């Protein structure tokens, strides 16, 4: 086993050296050691990959689909994505030049930011938020400017956006995520329209992370791109709605002028995504069988959401309006104070229920817990019984 030459310790990229292991991961690892714990921590579907997707991957392997695909991804998948965006969200993106298949939504975020940022460039990020946006921005030598939003629903308002733009007129990008991880809240069309009216006066590129778009329980998902097509890039993928996190298929859709630059980063970094994984995603986005499979999972999430949101409210938690994704963002009952880290640690170690402290998602999250309901109804019922008991003794 080689030992690194000691003097190499100072040789690394300073931005990378600053990146700390994610709090969420560390906390999850710590509480996972509690015997028989029920975990509501993980943002990952508990369903098997739909059969139609598995079969497509098997067929691709058997057909020796094993060569470098085009950098933007296989044409079949880009066409399926083009169909998906038109069919579900009435958006028009061409397979050629306006869509790129990425290694999960994660690479889509990275490639978008890398295409935009020069050292020191600012990126506006409303909080509470998915922590990776800030980490990636800083790792790329940019500077994350957080915009704290306010309870109960933490929805970015036009006034909050205007204030951030006025204070940071040189910012390059705004990152939005709706439905939101961690809150489950999403924008209404009117709210998106109001934000678009502010944004169109600026040169901000909006990185619109819509990875949970197929998991909207009331009404349907609307993309900001409907109102702001010229400066929005949509990020999405098969990980959540297709229960395919391990296949690593995401995508970016945007105007050709932006996609050309993002495509350079993407091609240099990854050459092309994996052929069998792309083949698996084709029916998810492009077939009725794939759509039906995602709808079935969505119905199960919805029943779990209804159960958990109701149970938590009965226990004195205040839950942000959970219209989408598979998370509840719950404010601690008034008599439990606002130290979410201590509460979540005790709930895990004494109550055997693992949740994520809200403050790990940035300003505004203090005094909250994020609970994932991407787990079985039986596990949720055990969790509720345990939380009830814990609160009686806490």
Ligand X SMILES: Cc1ncc(COP(=O)(O)O)c(C=O)c1O
- Applying CB under 6 A, which residues contact ligand X? 43, 104-106, 130, 177, 181, 209, 211, 237, 239, 245, 250
Handedness of CA 44, 48, 52, 58 (dihedral sign): positive
Q: What are phi and psi of 182, to 5 degrees?
A: -110, 0
Judged by beta carbon, residue 23 or residue 338, the one nearer ligand X is 23
Smallest separation (angstroms) from ligand X to the CB of 109: 6
Smallest separation (angstroms) from ligand X to the CB of 102: 8
Select the residue whose beta carbon is closest to ligand X and give its number: 104
Q: Which of 228, 207, 123, 116 is nearest to 170 (CA)?
A: 123
Identify each DSSP E strand in the chain by its residue range.
38-39, 99-103, 122-127, 143-148, 173-177, 205-209, 232-237, 249-253, 318-319, 327-331, 353-354, 356-357, 368-372
Smallest separation (angstroms) from ligand X to the CB of 180: 7
Judged by beta carbon, residue 104 or residue 357, the one nearer ligand X is 104
Could you tell me how many helices (H) and strands (E) the chain has, helices first?
13, 13
Judged by beta carbon, residue 191 or residue 245, the one nearer ligand X is 245
Smallest separation (angstroms) from ligand X to the CB of 245: 5
Judged by beta carbon, residue 236 or residue 336, the one nearer ligand X is 236
Judged by beta carbon, residue 113 or residue 311, the one nearer ligand X is 113
Smallest separation (angstroms) from ligand X to the CB of 25: 12
Q: Are strands 122-127 and 143-148 parallel, antiparallel or unpaired?
A: parallel
Which tokens sit at 206?
């909006």
Burial of 262 (0-12, 13-18, 19+ CB in 10 A): buried
Using DSSP's 3-state secondary structure scheme, residue 351 falls into: coil
Smallest separation (angstroms) from ligand X to the CB of 251: 10
Judged by beta carbon, residue 125 or residue 211, the one nearer ligand X is 211
Torsion of CA 105, 106, 109, 110, to 10 degrees: -140
């Amino acid at each position: 086993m080689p030992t690194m030459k000691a003097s190499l310790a100072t040789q690394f990229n300073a931005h990378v050296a600053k990146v700390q292991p994610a709090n969420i991961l560390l906390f999850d690892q710590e509480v996972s050691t509690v015997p028989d714990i029920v975990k509501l921590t993980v943002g990952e579907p508990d369903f098997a990959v739909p059969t139609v997707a598995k079969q497509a991957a098997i067929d691709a392997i058997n057909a020796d689909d094993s060569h470098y695909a085009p950098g933007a991804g296989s044409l079949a998948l880009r066409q399926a994505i083009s169909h998906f965006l038109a069919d579900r969200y009435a958006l028009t993106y061409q397979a050629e030049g306006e869509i790129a298949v990425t290694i999960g939504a994660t690479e889509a975020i990275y490639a978008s930011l890398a295409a935009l940022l020069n050292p020191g460039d600012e990126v506006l990020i409303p909080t509470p938020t998915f922590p990776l946006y800030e980490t990636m921005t800083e790792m790329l030598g940019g500077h994350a400017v957080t915009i704290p939003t306010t309870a109960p629903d933490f929805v970015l308002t036009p006034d909050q956006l205007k204030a951030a733009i006025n204070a940071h007129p040189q910012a390059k990008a705004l990152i939005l995520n709706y439905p939101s991880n961690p809150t489950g809240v999403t924008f209404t069309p009117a709210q998106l329209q109001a934000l678009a009216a502010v944004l169109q006066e600026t040169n901000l590129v909006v990185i619109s992370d819509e990875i949970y778009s197929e998991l909207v329980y009331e009404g349907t998902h609307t993309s900001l791109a409907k109102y702001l097509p010229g400066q929005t890039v949509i990020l999405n993928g098969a990980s959540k709605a297709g229960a395919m996190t391990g296949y690593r298929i995401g995508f970016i859709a945007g105007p050709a002028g932006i996609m050309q630059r993002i495509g350079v980063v993407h091609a240099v970094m990854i050459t092309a995504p994996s052929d069998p994984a792309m083949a698996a995603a084709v029916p998810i986005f492009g077939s009725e069988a794939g759509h039906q499979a995602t709808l079935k999972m969505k119905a199960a999430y919805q029943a779990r959401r209804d159960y958990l949101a109701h149970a938590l409210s009965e226990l004195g938690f205040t839950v942000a309006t959970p219209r989408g994704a598979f998370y509840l963002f719950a404010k601690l009952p008034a008599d439990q104070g606002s130290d979410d880290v201590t509460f979540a640690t005790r709930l895990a170690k004494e109550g055997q229920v693992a949740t994520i402290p809200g403050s790990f998602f940035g300003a505004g999250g203090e005094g909250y817990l994020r609970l994932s309901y991407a787990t079985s109804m039986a596990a949720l019922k055990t969790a509720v019984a345990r939380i009830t008991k814990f609160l009686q003794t806490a």
